[in-house]
Amino acid sequence: MLRAFFVHLSENRTLRNFAERSALGHRVSSRFVAGTEIADAVRATQAVNQAGMSVSIDNLGENVTNPDEARHSAQLYQQILDAIGANHLNGNISLKLTHMGLDVDEQLARELVSTLVAKAAAMNPPGFVRVDMEGSPYTQRTLDFVHELHRMPGNGNSVGTVIQAYLKRSEKDVENLLADGIRIRLCKGAYKEPASIAYESKSDVDANYIKLMKTLMKSGIYHGMATHDVNIIREGEAFARKEKIAPEAFEFQMLYGIRRDLQQSLVRDGWRVRVYIPFGTEWYPYFMRRLGERPANVFFIARNLLRP
């Protein structure tokens, strides 16, 4: 219920405008958001790389309302790829199709994203573009988009997408992506979805996650298991050992600022970890979804704010 409340708050325009413009808002969000500028994301990446983990950089923003905003978002991602190359960062980029103008002009979004994927593919070492998954109205469109990008000559290894374990359709979607050799990030899912299409109970979502995780691990393709759920992570480790799947054959992924202890202990145990680093001025919806996932975060942040 609380999660739904925060997802609802994440869609509130008035609160968003206020929060994103206020100094207090920036202070509050800094736990989960690396800053507002590319330089902030670069600094955060360097620290994470030094701690033995790779990153995926996300310029926060969704649902642009005109072509210029979409072009501007893509331009920022071009600069992030340049910064990754220039600073020899161990990282890739994550983007949302609605941020690239999917709802404004689908053809433009296609051009912007395919240009980014081509740029990533031409990097040395080759870069990678992860297309994040948004709410269910976008699931099929996102998958179609990624299959198409992946088929373009030269792009194959440089684009992948995300599957949400809470969606009942995901097993079939995984099958189709694997048939094309597409890299997948598996997560539980962060949006509010109706019971007709999504598992509702945590145990059902977790069971589907574990089932899909095992399929991905055995696929021979490099995938990312994105979760902070320690039970699932332990299950993944045990499965990899039992099936003799090399630690280099997949990675765990976690969000910036969340379970840093767990991130580090996985690295110490020899597993690969990638940290998703969000930055940018439009941090409000992302931040609210993170609060909703763990109500204790609200108290955690309040306590830190009250510290002198």
Query: Which of the residues are catalytic?
Result: 132, 185
Q: Which is nearer to ligand FAD, 119 or 209 (CB)?
A: 209
Smaller CB separation from ligand FAD, 67 or 135: 135
**Which residues, at least 6 apart from 40, have a Cβ–Cβ distance to it below 8 Å?**
34, 279
CA dihedral 34, 36, 38, 44 (to 10 degrees): -10
Residue from 271, 276, 279, 286 that binds ligand FAD (CB under 6 A)?
Answer: 276
The rounded Cα 110 to chain-centroid distance in angstroms is 20
Pick one of 43, 168, 214, 228: the residue that binds ligand FAD (CB under 6 A).
228
**Residue with smaller CB distance to ligand FAD, 67 or 259:** 259
Residues 6 or more apart whose Cβ sits within 8 Å of residue 258: 32, 228, 290
**Of 10-18, 44-52, 113-121, 248-256: span binding ligand FAD (CB under 6 A):** 248-256
255 in contact with ligand FAD (CB under 6 A):
yes
Q: Does 293 bind ligand FAD (CB under 6 A)?
A: yes
Q: Binding string, 164-183, against ligand FAD, x = CB under 6 A? A: x-------------------
Number of residues that bind ligand FAD (CB under 6 A): 24
CB 100, CB 78: distance < 8 Å: no
- Residues in the chain, total: 308
Q: Dihedral sign, CA of 172, 223, 131, 274?
A: positive
Q: Are 199 and 210 in contact (CB under 8 A)?
A: no
- Which residues of this chain interact with ligand FAD, rule CB under 6 A? 132-133, 162, 164, 185, 187-191, 226-229, 253-255, 258-259, 276, 290, 293-294, 297
